[in-house]
Amino acid sequence: MTEDKINLYLMTNMKYFPSERIPYIKQQLERIDDSKLIYLQTMSYKDPVILLIISIVAGSLGIDRFMLGQIGLGIAKLLTCGGLGLWTLIDWFLIMGQAKEKNFEEFMKIISTV
């Protein structure tokens, strides 16, 4: 795959991944062919900023955890009203990183299976 396509993919999707994982993602993109890149470009990643906003607005209901696919934690957060607010407050600082890690996991699934 060409360097321009790799850079374009990274520029458009960099905000969805942890910054320390970008060199590894670039290395993986250099190994795949164009058909796999097209498949990767159709992926919809979870936007960390949107998840932060949802966490601020309705974090005590566990909606942010449900959106990350963490159903058990979402139910626990819902039943405890966000851990009496403490869990919700902590998630305001952690949720963006967790969303980026989830996106990286999805990227790696696609790279390894496609």
pLDDT number for residue 72 = 95
Task: Report H helices in 1-114.
Answer: 3-13, 22-31, 34-41, 48-58, 63-67, 71-79, 81-84, 86-113
Q: Domain ranges for the chain, please list them.
A: 3-113
pLDDT digits (tens, 9 = 90+) for 15-26: 999 999 999 999
pLDDT number for residue 25 = 94
Residues in the chain: 114
Query: With contact defined as beta carbons under 8 Å apart, do 42 and 71 qualify?
Result: no
Distance in angstroms (rounded) separating the CA atoms of residues 44 and 9? 13
- Residue 14 has what DSSP assignment? G
Query: With contact defined as beta carbons under 8 Å apart, do 20 and 103 qualify?
Result: no
pLDDT digits (tens, 9 = 90+) for 38-70: 888 888 999 999 999 999 999 899 999 999 999
pLDDT number for residue 36 = 84
pTM metric for this prediction: 0.88
